[in-house]
Protein backbone atom coordinates (compact mmCIF):
# COMPACT_ATOMS: atom_id res chain seq x y z
CA UNK A 1 0.00 0.00 0.00
CA UNK A 2 2.85 2.37 0.87
CA UNK A 3 4.24 1.98 -2.60
CA UNK A 4 0.88 2.74 -4.11
CA UNK A 5 0.53 5.83 -1.96
CA UNK A 6 3.93 7.20 -2.85
CA UNK A 7 3.28 6.44 -6.50
CA UNK A 8 0.09 8.48 -6.37
CA UNK A 9 1.68 11.34 -4.49
CA UNK A 10 4.49 11.37 -7.01
CA UNK A 11 2.06 11.47 -9.91
CA UNK A 12 0.07 14.26 -8.27
CA UNK A 13 3.08 16.47 -7.66
CA UNK A 14 4.37 15.86 -11.17
CA UNK A 15 1.04 16.87 -12.67
CA UNK A 16 0.73 19.94 -10.47
CA UNK A 17 4.27 21.01 -11.26
CA UNK A 18 3.72 20.72 -14.98
CA UNK A 19 0.44 22.64 -14.82
CA UNK A 20 2.08 25.36 -12.76
CA UNK A 21 4.81 25.71 -15.37
CA UNK A 22 2.21 25.70 -18.13
CA UNK A 23 0.18 28.43 -16.45
CA UNK A 24 3.07 30.73 -15.69
CA UNK A 25 4.40 30.61 -19.23
CA UNK A 26 1.05 31.47 -20.78
CA UNK A 27 0.28 34.43 -18.54
CA UNK A 28 3.39 36.36 -19.50
CA UNK A 29 1.71 39.12 -21.43
CA UNK A 30 -1.72 40.52 -22.06
CA UNK A 31 -2.65 39.27 -25.48
CA UNK A 32 -5.94 39.29 -27.32
CA UNK A 33 -7.62 35.90 -27.49
CA UNK A 34 -9.83 34.47 -30.22
CA UNK A 35 -11.87 31.43 -29.16
CA UNK A 36 -12.93 29.28 -32.09
CA UNK A 37 -15.49 26.49 -31.71
CA UNK A 38 -15.58 24.34 -34.80
CA UNK A 39 -15.18 20.95 -36.47
CA UNK A 40 -11.84 19.23 -35.97
CA UNK A 41 -9.05 19.82 -38.50
CA UNK A 42 -11.10 22.48 -40.22
CA UNK A 43 -8.20 24.88 -40.76
CA UNK A 44 -4.65 24.57 -41.96
CA UNK A 45 -2.41 24.83 -38.87
CA UNK A 46 -0.05 27.28 -40.58
CA UNK A 47 -2.87 29.58 -41.60
CA UNK A 48 -3.83 29.91 -37.95
CA UNK A 49 -0.21 30.47 -36.92
CA UNK A 50 0.20 33.20 -39.55
CA UNK A 51 -2.95 34.89 -38.32
CA UNK A 52 -1.74 34.76 -34.72
CA UNK A 53 1.50 36.47 -35.66
CA UNK A 54 0.03 39.05 -37.98
CA UNK A 55 -2.63 40.25 -35.54
CA UNK A 56 -0.78 39.47 -32.28
CA UNK A 57 -3.57 37.26 -31.06
CA UNK A 58 -3.75 33.87 -29.36
CA UNK A 59 -6.16 31.46 -31.08
CA UNK A 60 -7.87 28.78 -28.97
CA UNK A 61 -9.44 26.13 -31.14
CA UNK A 62 -12.02 23.80 -29.57
CA UNK A 63 -13.95 21.19 -31.46
CA UNK A 64 -17.41 19.60 -31.66
CA UNK A 65 -18.64 16.58 -33.61
CA UNK A 66 -22.12 17.62 -34.69
CA UNK A 67 -24.25 20.72 -35.16
CA UNK A 68 -26.68 19.64 -32.49
CA UNK A 69 -23.91 19.16 -29.94
CA UNK A 70 -22.77 22.69 -30.60
CA UNK A 71 -26.33 24.04 -30.47
CA UNK A 72 -27.13 22.22 -27.20
CA UNK A 73 -24.03 23.67 -25.63
CA UNK A 74 -24.62 27.25 -26.80
CA UNK A 75 -28.34 27.00 -25.92
CA UNK A 76 -27.59 25.78 -22.41
CA UNK A 77 -25.56 28.91 -21.86
CA UNK A 78 -21.97 28.14 -22.76
CA UNK A 79 -20.39 31.46 -23.61
CA UNK A 80 -16.85 32.41 -24.36
CA UNK A 81 -16.69 31.48 -28.03
CA UNK A 82 -16.08 34.14 -30.69
CA UNK A 83 -16.43 32.14 -33.87
CA UNK A 84 -18.53 29.05 -34.60
CA UNK A 85 -19.12 27.02 -37.77
CA UNK A 86 -22.74 25.86 -37.94
CA UNK A 87 -24.00 24.11 -41.07
CA UNK A 88 -26.69 25.54 -43.35
CA UNK A 89 -29.97 24.54 -41.67
CA UNK A 90 -28.42 25.14 -38.26
CA UNK A 91 -27.73 28.75 -39.23
CA UNK A 92 -31.44 29.12 -39.94
CA UNK A 93 -32.35 27.60 -36.60
CA UNK A 94 -29.85 29.68 -34.68
CA UNK A 95 -31.10 32.88 -36.32
CA UNK A 96 -34.65 31.95 -35.29
CA UNK A 97 -33.49 31.29 -31.75
CA UNK A 98 -31.62 34.60 -31.63
CA UNK A 99 -28.27 32.95 -30.99
CA UNK A 100 -26.21 34.70 -33.68
CA UNK A 101 -24.71 38.19 -33.93
CA UNK A 102 -25.07 40.16 -37.15
CA UNK A 103 -21.82 40.38 -39.06
CA UNK A 104 -20.33 43.85 -39.45
CA UNK A 105 -19.62 43.81 -43.16
CA UNK A 106 -17.37 46.87 -42.92
CA UNK A 107 -14.86 44.65 -41.11
CA UNK A 108 -15.05 41.97 -43.79
CA UNK A 109 -14.25 43.63 -47.12
CA UNK A 110 -13.25 40.24 -48.59
CA UNK A 111 -16.84 39.03 -48.22
CA UNK A 112 -17.47 39.98 -51.84
CA UNK A 113 -15.01 37.33 -53.01
CA UNK A 114 -17.52 34.56 -52.43
CA UNK A 115 -19.04 32.83 -55.45
CA UNK A 116 -22.51 34.14 -56.32
CA UNK A 117 -24.28 30.84 -55.49
CA UNK A 118 -23.53 31.47 -51.82
CA UNK A 119 -24.36 35.17 -51.77
CA UNK A 120 -28.04 34.37 -51.30
CA UNK A 121 -28.33 31.01 -49.52
CA UNK A 122 -31.91 30.25 -48.39
CA UNK A 123 -30.95 29.86 -44.73
CA UNK A 124 -29.50 33.38 -44.51
CA UNK A 125 -30.56 35.25 -47.63
CA UNK A 126 -28.31 38.31 -47.37
CA UNK A 127 -25.34 36.79 -45.55
CA UNK A 128 -26.40 38.88 -42.59
CA UNK A 129 -25.29 36.38 -39.96
CA UNK A 130 -23.12 33.88 -41.77
CA UNK A 131 -20.75 33.26 -44.62
CA UNK A 132 -20.25 29.90 -46.33
CA UNK A 133 -16.88 28.38 -45.43
CA UNK A 134 -17.02 25.07 -47.25
CA UNK A 135 -19.69 23.01 -48.93
CA UNK A 136 -20.58 19.78 -50.69
CA UNK A 137 -23.32 17.50 -52.00
CA UNK A 138 -24.52 14.17 -50.59
CA UNK A 139 -24.31 11.73 -53.49
CA UNK A 140 -23.58 8.05 -54.08
CA UNK A 141 -20.10 6.65 -53.63
CA UNK A 142 -19.56 3.17 -55.03
CA UNK A 143 -16.75 0.69 -55.47
CA UNK A 144 -16.20 -0.26 -59.12
CA UNK A 145 -14.91 -3.70 -58.12
CA UNK A 146 -18.30 -4.77 -56.76
CA UNK A 147 -20.75 -2.37 -58.38
CA UNK A 148 -20.37 -3.14 -62.07
CA UNK A 149 -23.01 -0.80 -63.47
CA UNK A 150 -22.54 2.89 -62.79
CA UNK A 151 -25.35 3.95 -60.47
CA UNK A 152 -27.60 6.69 -61.79
CA UNK A 153 -30.43 6.74 -59.31
CA UNK A 154 -30.97 6.48 -55.55
CA UNK A 155 -32.94 3.37 -56.46
CA UNK A 156 -29.65 1.52 -56.96
CA UNK A 157 -29.19 1.41 -53.19
CA UNK A 158 -32.33 -0.75 -53.07
CA UNK A 159 -30.74 -3.33 -55.42
CA UNK A 160 -30.81 -6.74 -53.71
CA UNK A 161 -27.39 -7.61 -55.09
CA UNK A 162 -25.87 -5.24 -52.50
CA UNK A 163 -27.50 -6.90 -49.50
CA UNK A 164 -25.48 -6.15 -46.37
CA UNK A 165 -23.14 -3.84 -48.31
CA UNK A 166 -24.95 -0.51 -48.39
CA UNK A 167 -23.85 2.24 -46.04
CA UNK A 168 -25.94 5.23 -45.03
CA UNK A 169 -25.29 8.39 -43.05
CA UNK A 170 -26.42 8.05 -39.45
CA UNK A 171 -28.55 11.16 -39.70
CA UNK A 172 -32.36 11.18 -39.86
CA UNK A 173 -32.63 14.35 -41.94
CA UNK A 174 -30.07 13.23 -44.54
CA UNK A 175 -31.47 9.72 -44.96
CA UNK A 176 -35.16 10.67 -44.86
CA UNK A 177 -34.27 13.55 -47.20
CA UNK A 178 -32.73 11.06 -49.62
CA UNK A 179 -35.84 8.85 -49.55
CA UNK A 180 -38.03 11.92 -50.07
CA UNK A 181 -36.01 13.08 -53.07
CA UNK A 182 -36.10 9.55 -54.52
CA UNK A 183 -39.90 9.64 -54.34
CA UNK A 184 -40.04 13.05 -55.99
CA UNK A 185 -40.70 15.18 -52.90
CA UNK A 186 -38.80 18.00 -51.21
CA UNK A 187 -36.10 16.83 -48.80
CA UNK A 188 -37.60 19.08 -46.11
CA UNK A 189 -41.26 18.24 -46.51
CA UNK A 190 -43.70 18.77 -43.67
CA UNK A 191 -46.53 16.82 -45.32
CA UNK A 192 -47.42 13.65 -43.42
CA UNK A 193 -48.49 11.62 -46.47
CA UNK A 194 -45.22 12.36 -48.29
CA UNK A 195 -43.25 11.34 -45.21
CA UNK A 196 -45.30 8.18 -44.81
CA UNK A 197 -44.80 7.07 -48.39
CA UNK A 198 -41.06 7.72 -48.35
CA UNK A 199 -40.67 6.04 -44.99
CA UNK A 200 -42.43 2.89 -46.23
CA UNK A 201 -39.99 2.92 -49.13
CA UNK A 202 -37.00 3.48 -46.84
CA UNK A 203 -37.92 0.50 -44.66
CA UNK A 204 -37.36 -1.76 -47.67
CA UNK A 205 -33.71 -0.73 -47.98
CA UNK A 206 -32.88 -1.59 -44.38
CA UNK A 207 -31.94 -5.28 -45.05
CA UNK A 208 -29.34 -4.00 -47.50
CA UNK A 209 -27.69 -1.75 -44.94
CA UNK A 210 -24.43 -2.87 -43.35
CA UNK A 211 -24.29 0.12 -41.02
CA UNK A 212 -25.51 3.64 -40.42
CA UNK A 213 -22.45 5.77 -39.92
CA UNK A 214 -21.46 9.40 -40.31
CA UNK A 215 -18.07 9.50 -38.63
CA UNK A 216 -16.41 6.39 -40.04
CA UNK A 217 -18.07 6.15 -43.40
CA UNK A 218 -14.69 6.83 -45.03
CA UNK A 219 -12.97 3.92 -43.31
CA UNK A 220 -15.81 1.58 -44.23
CA UNK A 221 -15.67 2.54 -47.91
CA UNK A 222 -11.86 2.41 -48.06
CA UNK A 223 -11.67 -0.97 -46.31
CA UNK A 224 -14.41 -2.23 -48.68
CA UNK A 225 -16.74 -3.19 -45.86
CA UNK A 226 -19.36 -1.22 -47.77
CA UNK A 227 -19.69 -1.23 -51.55
CA UNK A 228 -22.10 1.61 -52.13
CA UNK A 229 -23.76 4.31 -50.06
CA UNK A 230 -24.71 7.91 -49.34
CA UNK A 231 -21.51 9.93 -48.98
CA UNK A 232 -20.64 13.64 -48.85
CA UNK A 233 -18.64 14.86 -51.85
CA UNK A 234 -15.68 15.99 -49.72
CA UNK A 235 -15.51 12.58 -48.04
CA UNK A 236 -15.77 10.91 -51.46
CA UNK A 237 -12.69 12.87 -52.58
CA UNK A 238 -10.84 11.64 -49.52
CA UNK A 239 -11.95 8.02 -50.08
CA UNK A 240 -11.02 8.14 -53.76
CA UNK A 241 -7.52 9.33 -52.90
CA UNK A 242 -7.05 6.31 -50.61
CA UNK A 243 -8.91 3.74 -52.69
CA UNK A 244 -9.10 4.67 -56.41
CA UNK A 245 -11.77 2.02 -57.04
CA UNK A 246 -14.31 4.20 -55.29
CA UNK A 247 -16.13 6.65 -57.56
CA UNK A 248 -18.75 9.26 -56.85
CA UNK A 249 -21.94 10.23 -58.66
CA UNK A 250 -24.86 12.56 -58.08
CA UNK A 251 -28.12 10.72 -58.88
CA UNK A 252 -30.54 11.97 -61.50
CA UNK A 253 -33.35 12.65 -58.99
CA UNK A 254 -31.23 15.31 -57.32
CA UNK A 255 -29.48 15.45 -53.97
CA UNK A 256 -28.96 17.43 -50.79
CA UNK A 257 -26.42 20.26 -50.76
CA UNK A 258 -24.84 21.36 -47.50
CA UNK A 259 -22.44 24.01 -46.30
CA UNK A 260 -20.46 24.79 -43.18
CA UNK A 261 -20.43 28.49 -42.44
CA UNK A 262 -18.63 31.04 -40.31
CA UNK A 263 -20.80 32.83 -37.76
CA UNK A 264 -20.49 34.69 -34.48
CA UNK A 265 -22.52 33.58 -31.43
CA UNK A 266 -24.53 36.11 -29.40
CA UNK A 267 -22.49 37.75 -26.69
CA UNK A 268 -19.09 36.94 -28.22
CA UNK A 269 -16.37 38.78 -26.32
CA UNK A 270 -14.14 39.45 -29.27
CA UNK A 271 -16.49 39.96 -32.19
CA UNK A 272 -14.15 42.29 -34.04
CA UNK A 273 -11.27 39.82 -33.98
CA UNK A 274 -13.62 37.10 -35.23
CA UNK A 275 -14.56 39.33 -38.15
CA UNK A 276 -10.89 39.99 -38.86
CA UNK A 277 -10.35 36.23 -38.90
CA UNK A 278 -13.23 35.70 -41.34
CA UNK A 279 -11.81 38.40 -43.56
CA UNK A 280 -8.37 36.83 -43.37
CA UNK A 281 -9.71 33.42 -44.40
CA UNK A 282 -11.53 35.01 -47.36
CA UNK A 283 -8.28 36.45 -48.71
CA UNK A 284 -7.72 34.61 -52.01
CA UNK A 285 -4.11 33.59 -51.37
CA UNK A 286 -4.73 32.52 -47.78
CA UNK A 287 -7.76 30.53 -48.90
CA UNK A 288 -5.78 28.66 -51.56
CA UNK A 289 -3.30 27.56 -48.93
CA UNK A 290 -6.05 26.74 -46.45
CA UNK A 291 -8.36 24.71 -48.71
CA UNK A 292 -5.64 22.76 -50.50
CA UNK A 293 -4.42 21.68 -47.09
CA UNK A 294 -7.81 20.61 -45.70
CA UNK A 295 -9.08 19.28 -49.04
CA UNK A 296 -12.57 20.78 -49.01
CA UNK A 297 -14.38 22.86 -51.61
CA UNK A 298 -13.41 26.54 -51.62
CA UNK A 299 -16.31 29.00 -52.11
CA UNK A 300 -13.90 31.88 -52.83
CA UNK A 301 -14.32 32.80 -56.50
CA UNK A 302 -11.27 35.09 -56.58
CA UNK A 303 -9.15 32.14 -55.50
CA UNK A 304 -10.20 29.77 -58.29
CA UNK A 305 -7.52 30.81 -60.81
CA UNK A 306 -4.84 30.53 -58.11
CA UNK A 307 -5.58 26.90 -57.26
CA UNK A 308 -3.34 24.09 -58.48
CA UNK A 309 -4.37 22.04 -61.49
CA UNK A 310 -4.72 18.96 -59.29
CA UNK A 311 -7.21 20.66 -56.97
CA UNK A 312 -9.20 22.17 -59.80
CA UNK A 313 -9.52 18.98 -61.83
CA UNK A 314 -10.90 16.99 -58.89
CA UNK A 315 -14.55 16.47 -59.75
CA UNK A 316 -15.46 15.73 -56.14
CA UNK A 317 -14.06 19.03 -54.92
CA UNK A 318 -14.85 21.23 -57.90
CA UNK A 319 -18.42 20.08 -58.43
CA UNK A 320 -20.28 20.48 -61.70
CA UNK A 321 -22.53 23.58 -61.83
CA UNK A 322 -25.35 21.48 -63.33
CA UNK A 323 -25.22 19.21 -60.28
CA UNK A 324 -25.33 22.18 -57.94
CA UNK A 325 -28.44 23.39 -59.75
CA UNK A 326 -30.18 20.06 -59.11
CA UNK A 327 -29.28 20.00 -55.43
CA UNK A 328 -31.59 21.14 -52.65
CA UNK A 329 -30.79 22.64 -49.23
CA UNK A 330 -32.21 21.12 -46.04
CA UNK A 331 -34.27 23.65 -44.10
CA UNK A 332 -35.55 23.53 -40.52
CA UNK A 333 -38.84 21.61 -40.48
CA UNK A 334 -40.03 22.95 -37.12
CA UNK A 335 -42.44 20.69 -35.27
CA UNK A 336 -42.33 18.03 -38.00
CA UNK A 337 -38.89 17.10 -36.71
CA UNK A 338 -40.66 14.99 -34.07
CA UNK A 339 -42.21 12.93 -36.85
CA UNK A 340 -38.87 12.49 -38.57
CA UNK A 341 -37.43 11.28 -35.27
CA UNK A 342 -40.34 8.90 -34.66
CA UNK A 343 -39.91 7.33 -38.11
CA UNK A 344 -36.17 7.08 -37.64
CA UNK A 345 -36.56 5.33 -34.28
CA UNK A 346 -39.17 3.00 -35.74
CA UNK A 347 -36.93 2.08 -38.65
CA UNK A 348 -34.04 1.24 -36.34
CA UNK A 349 -36.10 -0.80 -33.88
CA UNK A 350 -37.93 -2.53 -36.72
CA UNK A 351 -36.33 -5.94 -36.45
Partner 1 sequence: MLNKKPVKLLALPALLWMGALFVLPMLMIAILSFLKRGTYGQVVYEFTLNNYIRIFDPLYGQIFWDTLVVAVLTTLFSILCGYPLAYYISRLEKSSQQIWLLLVMIPFWINFLVRSYAWVIILRSQGVINTFLQSLGIISEPLPLLYNSGSVLLGMVYTLMPFMVLPIYVSLEQMDRRKLEAAYDLGATPWKAFWHVTLPMTKTGVVTGSILVFVSSIGMFVVPDVMGGAKSALIGNVIQNQFLSARDWPFGSALSIVLMLLSMLLILLYFRATKASETKEGSA
Partner 2 sequence: MKTLRGNALSGYSWLMLVFLYLPILILVLYSFNDSRINATWTGFTWKWYVSLFENRQVMQALMNSLTIGVISSVIATVLGTAAALAVKHYSLRWSNIFNGLMYLPIVIPEIMMGLAMLVLFSQMQMELGKVTLILAHVTFSMPFVMVIISGRLADMGKDLEEASQDLGATPWETLRYVTLPLIMPGIIAGFLMAFTLSLDDFIISFFVAGPNSTTLPLYIYGLVKRGVSPEVNALSTLLIVSTVLLVVVAEIFRRKDSKNNQSIL
Q: Is 96 in the site for partner 1 (CB under 8 A)?
A: yes
Q: Which one among 124, 213, 247, 260 touches partner 1, defined by CB under 8 A? A: 213
Distance CA 344, CA 175 (A): 9
- Return phi, psi of residue 318, to 5°: -95, 85
> Cα–Cα distance between 129 and 85 in angstroms, integer?
11
CA–CA separation, 157 and 252 (whole Å):
14
- With CB under 5 to 8 Å by kind, the binding choice for 240 among partner 2, partner 1, none is none
Give the one residue of 52, 55, 61, 339 binding partner 2; rule: CB under 8 A: 61
Question: What is the nearest approach in angstroms of partner 1 to the Cβ of residue 276?
Answer: 30
Binding residue for partner 1, selected from 86, 108, 173, 208, defined by CB under 8 A:
173
Question: With binding defined as CB under 8 A, does residue 15 bind partner 2?
Answer: yes
Q: Is 326 annotated as a binding residue?
A: no
313 class by beta-carbon count within 10 Å (0-12 exposed, 13-18 middle, 19+ buried): exposed
In the bound state with partner 1, the residue whose beta carbon lies nearer, of 175 and 303, is 175
Neighbours of 344 (CB within 10 A): 19
The Cα-based distances of 293 to 44, 46, 258, 286, 306 in angstroms read: 6, 10, 20, 11, 14
Give dist(CA 207, CA 265) in Å, integer. 42
Task: Choose, by CB under 8 A, the member of 34, 48, 71, 262 that binds partner 1.
Answer: 71
Residue 15 CB burial class (10 angstroms; 0-12, 13-18, ≥19): exposed
Q: Which of residues 17-56 bind partner 2 (CB under 8 A)?
A: 18-19, 22, 33, 35, 37, 39-41
Do strands 130-143 and 228-232 pair parallel, antiparallel, or not at all (unpaired)? antiparallel
**199 within 8 A of 156, measured Cβ to Cβ:** no
172 binds, among partner 1, partner 2, none (CB under 5 to 8 A by kind): partner 1
Q: Residue from 80, 107, 211, 315 that binds partner 2 (CB under 8 A)?
A: 80
x/- track of binding to partner 1 for residues 27-66 (CB under 8 A): ---------------------------------------x
Interface with partner 1 includes 209 (CB under 8 A)? yes
Q: 268 Cβ partners below 8 Å, 6+ apart?
A: 81, 82, 83, 101, 274
Q: Which is nearer to partner 2, 20 or 200 (CB)?
A: 20
30 is in an annotated binding site: no
Residues 259, 87 contacting (CB under 8 angstroms): yes
- In this structure, the strands spanning 228-232 and 32-38 are unpaired
Binding mask 230-269 for partner 2 (x = CB under 8 A): ------------xx--------------------------
Sequence-ordered list of residues with C-beta below 8 angstroms from that of 108, at least 6 positions apart, any chain: 131, 275, 278, 279, 282
Q: Which listed option, partner 2, partner 1, none, makes contact with residue 349 (CB within 5 to 8 Å by class)?
A: partner 1
Integer Cα distance of 22 and 329 in angstroms: 45
Binding site for partner 2 (CB under 8 A): 1, 3-4, 7-8, 11-12, 15-16, 18-19, 22, 33, 35, 37, 39-41, 60-65, 69, 72-73, 76-81, 214-216, 218-219, 222-223, 242-243
**Residue list for the binding site:** 89, 171-174
Q: What is the binding site for partner 1 (CB under 8 A)?
A: 3-4, 66, 68-69, 71-72, 75, 93, 96-97, 164, 170-173, 206, 209-213, 216, 219, 223-225, 332, 334-335, 337-338, 340-342, 344-346, 348-349
Annotated binding-site residues for spermidine read 89, 171-174
Amino acid sequence: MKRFKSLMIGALTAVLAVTAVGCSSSSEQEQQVLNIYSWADNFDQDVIKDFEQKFNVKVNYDVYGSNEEMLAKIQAGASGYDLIQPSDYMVGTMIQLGLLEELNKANIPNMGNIVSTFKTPPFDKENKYSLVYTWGITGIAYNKKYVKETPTSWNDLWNEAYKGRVIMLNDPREVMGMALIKNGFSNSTTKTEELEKSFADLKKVVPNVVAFDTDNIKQKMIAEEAWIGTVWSGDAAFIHAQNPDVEYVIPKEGATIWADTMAIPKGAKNKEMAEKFINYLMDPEVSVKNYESIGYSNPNEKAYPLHSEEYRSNKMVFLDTADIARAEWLVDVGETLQQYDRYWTEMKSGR
